[in-house]
Structure formats: C-alpha cells, structure tokens
A and B are shown apart, each in its own frame.
Chain A
Amino acid sequence: MKIEVKHNRICAGAFLVCMALIIVYLSGIFLSQRVEEQLYPSAGLSETKMLSDYYPDLKGSPVDTEVYIFRGKKPGASMLVLGNTHPTEPSAIVSTTIVLENAMVEEGTLYVIPRVNKSAMSHTDPQDATPLGIHIDTPNGQRYFRVGSRMTNPVHQWPDPDIYYHNAGQLLTGKETRNVDRTYPGRTDGNLTEKICYGIVELIKAEKIDMTIDTHEGPPEYPTIDVMIAHQNAMELAGTTALNLSLEDVEIRVDASPVNLHGFSHRELGDHTDTMAVLVETVNPVMGRLAGKKSEELMLEGRDKFYQYASENSDRLYTEYTAEGKPLNLRVARHVETIMQLAASYNEMDTGKRLEITGVPTYAEIMENGMGQYLGGK
C-alpha cells in the first residue's frame, strides 16, 4: 500500500490555508505568555524602582524589571530576594510573591525582584512540554502564574553561539548564554542575559545589600536539591539558618559554592560584591527526566508514580519520594521559611545591623492554611 498526495494547486492551497489558520490560532496562545500577571505588594511597600535605574542600558528592553523596596522605620541590614531566575520553577515564583505581598519591614530594608528574567517568562521551551501556567485558589479568587522557560526568549536574544565562553574562562553549551544563573556577574558589552546579571550586580553594589537569596527548584535525581548553596562568605549565615530551620521541622543541607564553577549567583555575586550570596533549592518533579505525564496537576500536587517507584526501588534519587509526592504548597512553605530564617539568622550574627521582617507566614502556617491564603488580590 502506498499513499500518495496529489501535487496540484488545490492541495497546495488547502495546505497553506490550514497552516495559516493554525498559525493565527497558535499566535494567540504564544502571545498570551507575554501578558504579565498582576502582583499585589503589601502595604509595607516603600518604593518601586526598575532594574534600569541601576543599569540604564536595560531601559526599554524586554528584561527591565521591577525592584520592590520595603524600608523599615529604622535603618539596618538589607536583603535581596530573587524570584523567577528560572521561570520553570514555580515554588520560586510563588514564594517570592508571598514575601512581596505580605512583608512588613520594621528595621532594615528588603528588596524583592519577583521576575528576574521577564523574557524567560514570555515563552516556553521546546522539549520541556510544561503547562503554560498554574492556577491557585485564594480568598480573593483564583490567581494565575505563568510557567516559562529556564532561558531568555530567543525572540529577544538569538542566535546562541555553539559554545558559551564565560568571562572566567569556562566553556558551556551555547544555550547557557541565555541562562541568568550561568551568566553572572554579567558584562556591559555582553548579551541581554548578561546585562540582567550586570544590572543585579550594580543594584547590590549601589544599595550595599548584605545578603542575596536566589530561589530555585531542581529535579529529584539532581544532587543539588533541598539545599542552600552558599558562597564562602555566607557559610556562617547558611549554617545557622539550617540549624534554625531544623527546629521548624525543615531539613535542609548546606553546600559550599564550588570555587571553580562560574556563572552562578552563589559564586559570582559573592566574588564580585560584598553581599552574602545564598542559592536555595527545593524539589520539583516536573523538571525531572523520570516525570510522568506533564500536567498542571503534577506541578501543583507533585505526585508522580515513576518517582515514587524509583525512590522505592533504587537509591539513585537525592530525596525520598512517597505517594504524598512533593506538593507545591510544601515547596513554597520551605522557601518562604528559609528566606525568613536567613533574615533571622543574620540578626544572630555579630554585624551591628538587624533586619526585622513581619507579616510573612511561617512554614507551619502555609502547611496548615495553604499558600493561597497568603496571596493577595482585589
């Protein structure tokens, strides 16, 4: 049996019309990823700046992003919280939003950048097959958060080189040139992604930020999960925080940032500024290669039969995976508690400065009431 398609104008015309209709339909879907979700900063918000206020080259670019500033009644220590470095990691997205929408600062200053790579939020990556976003019920109705890509949108930065040569002499695959957490400390003559990093470095220097927290997620087969990776100048802070977290039933490991692994926030922000840089990771099954069907349900509930099976039948996962899974609520609660404990632990250090943040829910509160209770709205 051989199927043949007639080569005539009617077939060609019908094909072209079909393709045009599909493209119009798909354009609507893909362009909807550029619509920014509304955020509702708490009443403690003092000022909103743009990253371009610190690095003017970013003005008018698709990666210029809001820097929300919460100043306390008294001066003190400062903390920068980064979310959406990788928009494929929803607990980072939601936890920074909860901090933004609940924090009241009594002493010191809190800076929150909930959308570090806006360009990466505006598209999804082929071969990820992730849902376009997640819906979370709140007392004020349902909130929608986009799930994007790890990388800057190629519409904004393209083509990739074959090899990404980092300034420190490190070689990576070319696509990493669009990954914010591989391109720190950034450069003024670099690409768009490197300019985001440069802008963040400039912000940290200009505001003399004492500690910087970069929120992430990783797959269960990845060694770097449920962990704080700290620059050597932040090891005391991270160690104290891990101890304090264990008292709240949050078990977290502390890893030292490898000295020769460049481009990461925990390495370069510590090396190129005076901030104490810490990167925190939770577990997200959707990002993993063992994940079953990619769905919003998997992203929210975190239950996956394949990971459960791998956990029960091998010792090759870096976390225990039970039938309860790793729900987003748990991952968000861990991140929020870690951020708050980092601030609290800083106050235990002998620096002469303090950072007092109130209003942000604890791990126990989020686990009991659900993350939606702490998301604002109209």
Chain B
Amino acid sequence: MPRVIVDVMPKPEILDPQGKAVHGALPRLGFDGILDVRQGKRFELEVSEADEATLSEVHQIAETLLSNPVIENYVVRVES
C-alpha cells in the first residue's frame, strides 16, 4: 500500500512556542550546536493508489483539515 505523507509546519513568520521550548531544553542536555528548532506535524495517509486523483484529494484534505493556511504550510509527498 502506498503511503502519502503530509508535513505541516508553522509558517516562518509565526511564533512557534513549542519549538522554542524544545530548543531551550537542548543546552541543558549538553547539545549546544543547534541554532533553532521548529516543531510541526507529520500525517501518514494510507491509500490504495497514489495516483493523481488521490493526491489532489490529499491536497484538499491537507488544506481544509490537516493545516490551517493562516498559520501553517504543508507539503505532500508519496513515500516509496
């Protein structure tokens, strides 16, 4: 079964308090080299066929439900 991945990330100009919290924890663990962390969401959608029609449907799903276009961007890709 093909799997379609939708990655949803906060837009660059939107504050990401969760990413900031993760970033803030890193030096306490001794990881000093990380300049920034942004936290997003990954959705894995199982489909019977990753054809054009399905992918266009996934784009619709990503736009209407999985992401909020006001604050987030998304990327759709098929996992091989």
- Pairing of A with B: no
